[in-house]
Every structure is written in C-alpha cells, then in structure tokens.
Amino acid sequence: MIPQKSQALRFKEFGKPLEVLSLEELEVPEPGPGEVLIKLIASPIIPADFGSILGNYGKLKELPATAGAMGIGEVVQVGDSENPIEVGQWVRIPEEIGVWQEFCFVKANELRVLPKGLDGQSACIAALNPPTAIRLLEDFASLKSGDWVIQNAGNSNVGIAIIQYAQTMGLKTVNLVRREELVQPLLDLGADTVVVEESFNPREIEAITKGGRPKLAINSVGGHSGLKILNALGPGGTHVTIGAMTFEPVRFPTRQLIFEDIKLCGFWLMNWQHQHSPEEVKALDDQVYSLIGDGTFKFPVAANYPLSEYKKALTHASEPRFGTVLFTAN
C-alpha cells in the first residue's frame, strides 16, 4: 500500500543539523512516463551529510532541500510499461534529490540498478567509501604485496574498506584509532596493526611493522593526527588527505618534503568520477558490488533508526561508536 504522504528530513538554511532540520510531510505523486517511485531501504549518516547541512561541503544543495547524500531504495511503482526499471528492483537513490525521505520519484534513466542478493546494510554504503578505498590503494603509490599503508580514522567506513581491500592486494595496514575498545574489532576485520593514536610515536614505526615503513598514508582527520602519519612514511611516500574531522590544518612539513621527497595530495571521489568516462565509473561500481556480494566489503552497523527518530539518530552518529548509524524504512 503506497501512502499519500511521505516523511522527509528537510532544511531551509545551512546550520547545525539538529537546529535546521525538520520532519515534513510531502505528497507522494504518481510516477509519470519514464519515472519510478522508490521506497527508502537504508541510508547511512556520513560526514558528508553533516558538511552539506552545515554549508561547508564541496558541493551544496539549493535550498530548501531534502537532506541525505547516500542510500538505496526499492522500486514500488513504475510510470509506464516501457520503463526499463522493474518493480522490486533495488536502486541507488540519486544524491541530488535528497535521500532522507520515505518515498521519492526519479527518472528511470538516472538510476543505477543494484545486483540481486546484496546485503542492504553494506550496499547502502557502496557509493562512496568502498570506491574511495579502491582508488586510494590503486592510484597513489606503486604498492606491491607486503607493503605497508598507514591511516588514521581506521574505524571509519572508508578506513574499514581500506583494511578489507588491502587484504585482497596483499598489503598490510597500520590503523590509528582514538579509543582502546576499537582495537580488537578492527583486528577481527583483518587489520594487521591497530594503535591508539595518543600512544603512537612515528619514530617507532619500524618496530611496529618489524622493519617496513609505509609507502602510503591516508589522512581523514587533519591536524596533529595527519602530521603523525606523515612522519611515519618512508622516503618517497605519499600522504593523501580525504577528510578533516578535526577541522585543523596539517602543518607544512618542510623537512620531509625536501629531504625525503614526501608527496602531499588530496582525493575526492566526485572529482574522480567527473574526470573519468561513464564506462569507467560503472566499472568501478561493478567492482564494488562484486566485492560486497562475495563478502570482501562488509560494514558493521551501530544502529538503525526511522526518519521520525532523526534527533536520536544524528546524536548517535555524532558520538563515539563502532559502526554506521543508518536511517531505514519505517
């Protein structure tokens, strides 16, 4: 039964999510020719969501807007018999329309249909973190089996994806975390070494790795944390920034740049997608879904919330935890 009204999390101005978001009721329209109606299955609450609502993300929505950058839904109605999308198929909900709504209608030719049989809680994360992990490990350093990679935020979704994909390449990972209780869960997922950041000394990296120094450092945090993993790199290593959780700049490391030929760069998946052909983007998507299907990529979930409990969900997503907080269908 398709209702006449749909709940949606909307904002009319940029600001703190709990202050500017409100739960609104929207009409559920009949899909027209070439359109489909989608019911939300799951959407992860990710740092990009907070940045987009705050107004400091790389790509901002026109206001007023429905929040939510990433998620999947089930097609529940199609607009005409010529539609290539079928009722019951799972699809990726386009970010532009806003994912945090119970029902939405979309043009069928804008949709990416998911393979059958995927775990929904992992599939809803597939659009961002796993492809980011693949590109980071394949594009920024000449890595071979046995090489070391170091990252902070090892318990984030992209950190977990890096741990999992590194195993398929024969790479070893040093993973910094902020709390002792995160060490064993990451070791259970396949991390080679997990260190509480406060106790990490870059000068001791060779003792931690038993002789090797990382060729690649992945920085999601910024500030002193970003500098720590840079100082652990071997000569000629590459430091890639993909986030700035602390909103603190990384100090310019003059000595390492000059005498150790360290390279500093950044990565944003959206730029990569714009710079590559639709066929290359689809091939990366296909690779990700294949790795979700065979269990290589699997992401822990901290909790599921309906949209109506968004204040609890956003608060939970802002707190220390292990696993993703999801919005799911009521």
Q: Residue 139 and residue 156: Cα distance in Å, rounded?
A: 21
- Look up residue 21 and give its two tokens: 């978001």
Active-site residues, by number, are: 57
pLDDT reported for residue 81: 67
The CA angle 324-320-96, to the nearest 5 degrees, is: 40
Domain 5-125+299-328 in CATH 3.40.50.1100? The answer is no
Spatial contact of 167 and 147, defined as CB atoms under 8 Å apart: no
The CA angle 287-290-294, to the nearest 5 degrees, is: 140
Angle between helices 129-139 and 157-169 (to 10 degrees): 50
Burial of 20 (0-12, 13-18, 19+ CB in 10 A): middle
Answer whether residue 238 shows pLDDT above 80: yes
DSSP 121-132: HHHTTTTTHHHH
Residue 75 pLDDT class (50, 70, 90 cuts): very high
pLDDT reported for residue 251: 77
- pTM comes to 0.90
Of 4-13, 52-61, 107-116, which range is least confident? 52-61
pLDDT reported for residue 16: 94
Spatial contact of 225 and 219, defined as CB atoms under 8 Å apart: yes
Q: What is the DSSP letter of 101?
A: B
Enumerate long-range contacts of 308-312, CB under 8 Å, 24 or more apart: 308/7, 308/23, 310/9, 310/21, 310/23, 310/100, 311/18
Mean pLDDT along residues 164-177: 97
Domain coordinates in residue numbering, the chain: 5-125+299-328, 130-270
Q: What is the DSSP letter of 232?
A: T
Spatial contact of 307 and 10, defined as CB atoms under 8 Å apart: no
Preceding amide of 64 cis, omega within 30: yes
pLDDT reported for residue 98: 92
pLDDT reported for residue 168: 97
Architecture of domain 130-270: 3-Layer(aba) Sandwich (3.40)
Three-class SS of residue 238?
Answer: strand
